[in-house]
Amino acid sequence: MKQFDTDRILTTVCLILSILAYIFTCHWYIGIIMAVVSVGLAIYHNKHFKENKIVRAGSIISIVYLGCIVLILLFMLMYYSLLK
């Protein structure tokens, strides 16, 4: 496979996985896996290829998703600790 094709495929997969993470919010464990894989692909892409704005956007979307999930889990823990 050519380097240009690999660059385009990684860019597309990174962005699609970061968008799909939000779709799978109800199944948060699948969304977390997709977001982590998207961030990993972004790091790999930036390390081996020229930096790309689409990959950066995908990694930012995934990091925001992971932050939201962490906040939701913290609020749930605080709520359940108030019930006891």
pLDDT in tens, 2-41: 667 888 999 999 999 999 999 998 898 999 999 999 999 9
- For residue 75 the two structure tokens come to 């609020």
- What CA–CA distance (Å, rounded) separates 51 from 31? 25
Q: What is the pLDDT of residue 32?
A: 94
Predicted confidence band of residue 67 (pLDDT cuts 50, 70, 90): very high
DSSP 33-66: HHHHHHHHHHHHHHHHS---HHHHHHHHHHHHHH
Query: pLDDT value at position 84?
Result: 76
Cα–Cα distance measured from residue 4 to residue 48, given in angstroms and rounded to the nearest whole number: 12
The pLDDT value recorded for residue 59 is 94
Residue 42 has pLDDT above 70, yes or no: yes
